[in-house]
Amino acid sequence: MSLLDVTDLRVAFGPTTVLSGVSLHLDPGETLAVLGESGSGKTVTAQAVMGILDPPAVVVGGCVRYRGQDLLTLPERERRRIRGREIAMVFQDALSALNPVFTVGYQIGETLRIRDGLSRREALHRAVELMDQVRIPAARQRVHEYPHQFSGGMRQRVSIAMALALDPAVLIADEPTTALDVTVQAQILDLLGELRRERTMALMLITHDLGVVAQVADRIAVMYAGRVVEQADVHQLFRAPAHPYTAALLRGAAISGTPPSLRDLPSGCAFHPRCRYAAAVCRTVAPSTVDLGGRSAACHFAREVLVDPAAR
């Protein structure tokens, strides 16, 4: 049994289906990269797992199991307990995740005071420890500073410290380095990798950046138009993609055409107008996910693409 199992998750935004059957899993201690361009549904997937979808988006089907328990059917109180304590999230924009009027120490310690009943002093002490763990220099002094006194990279470290406060088993990081410059990006990715190893925590890293995937991921789920189109071990996938979209991403050349609007998805396989393998069946029949032994792809011709040297 995986730690987190998302099965056939469907989310609608009014009449528009934004996730049309997302299935993925996360094992203890591993890093899963969820890769996709904007609008592919990767952030919505994370929000649905966390139970923080922005209305009017609602889950209309599927399940999200954490240690075998379906989070979607749990009472809100129980779900809130799991959120934060078991599964925590870090966002792209650390500034908006932090409150400008409280010191970072107060904010890191807040969950510990509320959920673990620590005193103010104990919570502050723990906040210093957490800031040390995310390698913020001079944590003992800086714990009394406000978010605007930190650089972008240091602020992201503060929000990671907040997420780690309750020692979660799963950390979901949604484009945690997109707003940062390249050097700081690499430092934050290294930090996430180190924390994952030190804590044997599972990491779900949402990104649009193949370089980020190559740097940190064990496995990858590639999303396109509200579906996971391919899931594989990173080395397998880089060596031989089984989905034409992944193959096109790896080739690095611009993919002809534009990503489809979720309001008006192409019939059959949503990738067919851009796919160089497309055949008549692709225009009418949505492909199911093909099991390729430890990896999978949602394509009528996944087995052919997998062995096609031109796909690499």
Regarding 269 and contact with ligand SF4 (CB under 6 A), the answer is yes
Among 63, 74, 278, 292, binds ligand SF4 (CB under 6 A): 278
* 19 vs 26, beta carbon nearer ligand SF4: 19
Is residue 300 at the binding interface for ligand SF4, with CB under 6 A as the rule?
yes
Give the count of residues interacting with ligand SF4 (CB under 6 A): 12
Candidates 271, 290, 296, 306: give the one binding ligand SF4 (CB under 6 A): 271
Q: Nearest distance from residue 123's CB to ligand SF4, in Å? A: 51
Report 177-216 residues binding ligand SF4 (CB under 6 A).
none
Q: At what angle do helices 104-116 and 76-85 cross, to 10 degrees?
A: 130
Give the separation between CA 300 and CA 287, rounded to whole angstroms.
5
Q: Does residue 255 interact with ligand SF4 by CB under 6 A? A: no
Q: Which among 85, 100, 90 is positioned nearest to 157, based on CA atoms?
A: 90
* 277 near ligand SF4 (CB under 6 A): yes
- Per CB under 6 A, the list member of 171, 275, 306, 311 interacting with ligand SF4 is 275
For 20, 123, 246, 263, the CA distances from 39, given in Å and listed in that order, are 13, 39, 16, 11
Tell which one of 282, 290, 306, 311 touches ligand SF4 (CB under 6 A). Answer: 282
- Identify which of residues 141 and 258 has a Cβ nearer to ligand SF4 in the complex: 258
Q: What share of the chain is helix, strand, coil (3-state, %, to 5)?
A: 40, 20, 35
Q: What are the structure tokens assigned to 69, written together? A: 């328990």
Q: Taking Cα atoms as reference points, which of 151, 46, 34, 126 lies closest to residue 91?
A: 46
Please say which residue, 142 or 300, places its beta carbon nearer to ligand SF4.
Answer: 300
Among the listed ranges 34-42, 85-93, 109-117, 293-301, the one in contact with ligand SF4 (CB under 6 A) is: 293-301
- Which residue from 274, 283, 176, 221 is spatially nearest to 19, judged by alpha carbons? 221
Smallest gap from Cβ 204 to ligand SF4, in A, equals 24
Pick one of 82, 287, 289, 295: the residue that binds ligand SF4 (CB under 6 A): 287
Q: Measured from the CB of residue 297, what is the shortest distance to ligand SF4 in angstroms?
A: 8
Angstrom distance (rounded) from CA 177 to CA 107: 21
For ligand SF4, which is the closer residue by CB, 190 or 291?
Answer: 291
Which helix H or strand E contains 173, and what residues bound it?
strand 170-174
Number of helices (H) and strands (E) in the chain: give both, helices first.
13, 12
- The overall longest dimension of the chain from CA atoms, in Å, is 67
In the complex, which residues of this chain contact ligand SF4 (CB under 6 A)?
Answer: 244, 269, 271-272, 275, 277-278, 282, 287, 299-301
